[in-house]
Amino acid sequence: MMRALRSHWPQYVMEAGGLAVFMISASTFGVLLEYPGSPGRRFLADPFARRALMGVAMGLTAIALVYSPWGKRSGAHLNPSVTLAFLRLGRIKSPDAVFYVLAQFAGAIVGVFIAWALLGARLANPPPRFVLTAPGMSGVAAAFAAEVAISALLMLVVLTVSGSRFAPYTGLFAGALVALYITFEAPLSGMSMNPARTFGSALAAGDTRALWIYFTAPPLGMVAAASLYRRIGKGLGCAKLYHPNDIHCIFCEE
């Protein structure tokens, strides 16, 4: 464990930083589009239009992080569910997986609290209430099932694309799915797929009532997708979403 920490701590910091940036972006656009006094809320009265714009913003944020200098080095998991899926495939070693997950939770928490310091009561006000993810009107069962489904599909797409000649575009596919999920699926579950992201918001909001859904459903969906991918004989590969050949990789040591 300590050897991994000494050797790979820069990648752990990059994972934390990447998720912090994601949370700051989510919080900022959440305020711009959902806070009652914001221009976005005034000019876009239709909730679907606001979700669509939020989806585009977060999809582009995810894409930017994957192809950023830090994302190229760490692999831009930015999500404990993604890291656990790669662990299931044997693409990341256990010590690295542990530190990645810890870094992701730390990054999510720091990101939300930085956004809170910058945005103040506008972020704490419901809405957007720290961009909290929570089950929609269809209830807990629907939210759980939706989180499993969208998480599994995302991981299957990431693994399939990254193992094809379209591998350099994996981040684009992932970002496009994030945009679509926020636009169309968010009313069911809040669209998390990410235990760390949800925990950061829940901690700031002081609301952990539905946290168990987002701690279980996304990892279940992504690990199941990884297991299916492995069963059909396609477990080989790297744990990076984007693998530039001119940057050292801690996963495949190239």
Condensed to tens digits (0 to 9), the pLDDT of residues 116-150 reads 999 999 999 999 999 999 999 999 999 999 999 99
Is residue 222, in this structure, part of any structural domain at all?
Answer: yes
Is residue 212, in this structure, part of any structural domain at all?
Answer: yes
Is residue 251, in this structure, part of any structural domain at all?
Answer: no
Roughly what angle, to the nearest 10 degrees, separates helices 47-66 and 170-184? 160
Condensed to tens digits (0 to 9), the pLDDT of residues 80-103 reads 999 999 999 999 999 999 999 999
pLDDT band at 237 (very low <50, low <70, confident <90, very high): confident
**Number of residues assigned to the chain:** 254
Is residue 253, in this structure, part of any structural domain at all?
Answer: no
CATH of the domain at 25: 1.20.1080.10
Is residue 240, in this structure, part of any structural domain at all?
Answer: no
Specify the pTM. Answer: 0.96
Kindly tell me if the per-residue pLDDT of 6 is higher than 80: yes
Residue 4: its pLDDT value, please? 82
Residue-number span of the structural domain to which 138 is assigned: 2-231
Is residue 108, in this structure, part of any structural domain at all?
Answer: yes
Tracing tokens 């009265």 back to the chain, one arrives at 45
Is residue 6, in this structure, part of any structural domain at all?
Answer: yes
Residue 254: its pLDDT value, please? 60
Quote the number of domains for the chain: 1
pLDDT band at 245 (very low <50, low <70, confident <90, very high): confident
Is residue 148, in this structure, part of any structural domain at all?
Answer: yes
